[in-house]
Amino acid sequence: MDSEKKLNTEKIKNVPGRLYYKEACESTNLDAKMAESVPDKSVFLTDFQSKGRGRVGREWTSPSGLGIFMSIYLEPELFPYDICNLTLVSGLAVQKAIPKSEIKWPNDIILSGKKVGGILTETSAEGGKISRIIVGIGINVNNESFPFELSEKATSIFLETGIYEEREKLISHILKEFFSMYDRFLKEGFSAFKEEYERKCITIGKEILIADNGGNKIAKAVGITEKGELVTECDGKTEIVNSNEVSVRGLLGYV
Ligand code: BTN
C-alpha cells in the first residue's frame, strides 16, 4: 500500500486502552469480537476492509486508505436497551467531530443530505451476559467518487468540502468526543444526551417512510424515547419504532 495512504498510528491520540492496527483485514468489528485479552476501551483500526459490515446485513464499502474503519472495544455492564442508546450516543460523538454534519435516526451521519458515515454496534455474550460491545465506525473521508449505485446517497468529507482531511486527526477527535461522552453515559444514562440528540437528528419533524417486514408506511417522526426508539405519528395514532425492526427514509430522498 502507498505509504502516504497508510495511517500513521503515532499520530493517533485519545486511546485509553490499546491501539490495534492492521494494514488490511476483513472487518475491524470481526477482529475486535474475536480478539483475546483485550483491555477495555481499546481501538481497532485498519486502512482496508475486504468484508466491511454495515447495518441490517449490508456491506460497508471500505476502499484502501480513503476512509476511517474503526472499532471501539468496550466491556461495560449494560442492559440490552442501553446498547441501542450507546449506538445513538456514538453517532452523536461522530457528528460532533465532523463540522456541519447531522444525524439520520438511528445513527447515519449525514453531510449535505447524503450519508458520510455509519455505526454498527455488535455484542458478544458469555453465559447469557453481554461481555463485550463493539462500536464500529465507518466514515467516508477522502473518497473522490463512489460506485454508481451508491452515488445517489453516499458522500465523503472531501466531496463536500473540497479539502483532504488528515484521517489521524479526525480519528483522534472522534475518540476524544466518544470517550468523554461514554463515561458520562455510564454515569447518567441516555437522558443526559436525549435533548442534544433530538436537536441534531434531522429525522425528527419529518414525514418518513418506515419499512418493515409488513411493508412500507408513511408517518411523521416526532421524537425519541428514553430507550432511543423513534416516536412516530400516523392518522392521529402514536407508534414507537425500534431500529432493529425497521429502516426509515425521507419521502423525497434518502434523508
Ligand atoms: C452502517 O451500515 O451505517 C454502519 C456501517 C459501519 C461500518 C464500520 S467500518 C468499521 C467497522 N467494521 C465493520 O465491518 N463495520 C464497521
pLDDT digits (tens, 9 = 90+) for 110-136: 999 999 999 999 987 766 666 799 999
pLDDT digits (tens, 9 = 90+) for 81-93: 788 899 999 999 9
Mutational test site, ligand 1, from 27, 31, 34, 53, max ligand atoms within 8 Å of CB: 53
What is the pLDDT, as a whole number, of residue 129? 62
- From the alpha carbon of 58, which atom of ligand 1 is closest? 2
Measuring from atom 3 of ligand 1, which residue has the nearest CA?
118
What is the pLDDT, as a whole number, of residue 4? 60
Cα 27 to ligand 1 centre (Å) = 8
pLDDT digits (tens, 9 = 90+) for 190-217: 999 999 999 999 999 999 998 877 788 8
- From the alpha carbon of 62, which atom of ligand 1 is closest? 9
What is the pLDDT, as a whole number, of residue 128? 60
Cell 419521502 -> residue = 251
Cα 56 to ligand 1 centre (Å) = 11
Measuring from atom 10 of ligand 1, which residue has the nearest CA?
69
pLDDT digits (tens, 9 = 90+) for 139-154: 999 999 999 999 999 9
C-alpha distance from residue 60 to each of 29, 68, 96, 110, 130 (Å): 12, 11, 22, 16, 25
pLDDT digits (tens, 9 = 90+) for 45-94: 999 999 999 988 899 999 999 999 999 999 988 777 788 899 999 999 99
- From the alpha carbon of 115, which atom of ligand 1 is closest? 3
Amino acid at position 158, single letter: F
What is the pLDDT, as a whole number, of residue 70? 98
Model confidence at 242, in pLDDT bands (50, 70, 90)? confident
Integer Cα distance of 53 and 33 in angstroms:
13
Indicate if the pLDDT at residue 38 is higher than 90.
Answer: yes
What is the pLDDT, as a whole number, of residue 115? 96
What is the pLDDT, as a whole number, of residue 148? 92
Show the ligand 1 pocket: residues with CB < 6 angstroms.
Answer: 27-29, 49, 52-55, 58, 60, 69-71, 108, 118-120, 136-138
Instruction: For the chain, state the CA radius of gyration.
Output: 18
Q: Taking all residues of the chain, what is their mean pLDDT, rounded to a whole number?
A: 92
Measuring from atom 11 of ligand 1, which residue has the nearest CA?
136
Model confidence at 177, in pLDDT bands (50, 70, 90)? very high
Model confidence at 187, in pLDDT bands (50, 70, 90)? very high
Indicate if the pLDDT at residue 245 is higher than 80.
Answer: no
Mutational test site, ligand 1, from 22, 26, 29, max ligand atoms within 8 Å of CB: 29
Q: What is the mean pLDDT of residues 148-172?
A: 96
Cα 74 to ligand 1 centre (Å) = 16
Cα 220 to ligand 1 centre (Å) = 28
- From the alpha carbon of 26, which atom of ligand 1 is closest? 14
Cα 235 to ligand 1 centre (Å) = 36
Measuring from atom 15 of ligand 1, which residue has the nearest CA?
53
Residue 27 main-chain phi, psi, to 5 deg: -160, 130
